[in-house]
Amino acid sequence: MLKKSAYKRVLLKLSGEALMGDDAYGINRATIERMVADVAEIKALGIELAIVIGGGNIFRGVAPGAEGMDRATADYMGMLATVMNSLALADAMRQAGITARVMSAIAIDQVVEPYVRPKALQYLEEGKVVVFAAGTGNPFFTTDTAAALRGAEIGAEIVLKATKVDGVYSADPNKDSNAVRYSTISFDEALSRQLQVMDATAFALCRDRNLPIKVFSIVKPGALKRVIMGEDEGTLVHV
């Protein structure tokens, strides 16, 4: 008998850098195809999945390339980068036989649909993957905040923050060999220990909405499925 998944509806937050693979910038095709294969695994379990992608692999409002630029303008450019990433991911899913819909928080009607919450919920109930692009549609807010906001709006049971690090550590594991990975940690503990889980706005929203966060490594084969199945993968941040 197949083991039942731990969740029914989830919000997956992908960093733009995760799409680069070993490349210096842009989108690594082999990497995005592997991620799509991971998505296909959990879709086969009947999971309702929404995704938010960052744009750091293409452009980021606080990046050195934005030096001297108006911050709001730079952030809007970053939002457009997330649209590019979302389109690339949706196309890769289409080629893998997964139906995906990209919905943007800023109007680009000729390219993607505008974000409309009831429509997004309908797509999820129909079994489609919904990719939320352009962050919150506002400057000064990160895609972490967009993930927390959209997760709350669609009634996700958990926000899965997929990074290149396999969880939340007591210190930077790249600098401290004695750093310990937390299996679970409360929001209050993470705050008191000054652990960087998400940006402050996103973290506060998840805590206030009792929306748990799971931080895990998207580069580990099969990690996404293990998270969905409730196995000891990554770090669970909870109330």
**83-127 pLDDT per residue, tens:** 999 999 999 999 999 999 999 999 999 999 999 999 999 999 999
3-state class of 82 per DSSP?
helix
Residue 58: what pLDDT? 75
Query: Using CA atoms, how far apart are residues 41 and 33, in angstroms rounded to an integer?
Result: 13
Top-confidence residue, 134 or 194: 134
Boundaries of domain holding 144: 9-238
Whether 113 is in a domain gets the answer yes
Whether 188 is in a domain gets the answer yes
Whether 92 is in a domain gets the answer yes
Return the CA Rg of the chain. Answer: 17
Say yes or no to pLDDT of 64 above 80.
Answer: no
Say yes or no to pLDDT of 16 above 70.
Answer: yes
Average pLDDT over residues 190-215: 94
Binding-site residues for UMP sit at 55, 75, 136-143
Tell me how many domains the chain contains.
1
Binding-site residues for ATP sit at 13-16, 56, 60, 163, 169, 172
| Cβ atoms < 10 Å from Cβ of 70 | 11
Strand partners, 199: none
pLDDT band at 3 (very low <50, low <70, confident <90, very high): low
Average pLDDT over residues 38-54: 96
Tokens 């899965």: give the residue.
Answer: 160
Residue 1: what pLDDT? 42
Say yes or no to pLDDT of 28 above 90.
Answer: no
Residue 71: what pLDDT? 87
Whether 65 is in a domain gets the answer yes
Whether 198 is in a domain gets the answer yes
pLDDT band at 60 (very low <50, low <70, confident <90, very high): very low
Say yes or no to pLDDT of 2 above 80.
Answer: no
Query: Using CA atoms, how far apart are residues 128 and 50, in angstroms rounded to an integer?
Result: 9
pLDDT band at 65 (very low <50, low <70, confident <90, very high): low
Whether 2 is in a domain gets the answer no
Say yes or no to pLDDT of 50 above 60.
Answer: yes
Whether 137 is in a domain gets the answer yes
Domain at 139, CATH number: 3.40.1160.10
Residue 61: what pLDDT? 44
Residue 214: what pLDDT? 97
Say yes or no to pLDDT of 224 above 60.
Answer: yes
Say yes or no to pLDDT of 227 above 50.
Answer: yes
Whether 3 is in a domain gets the answer no
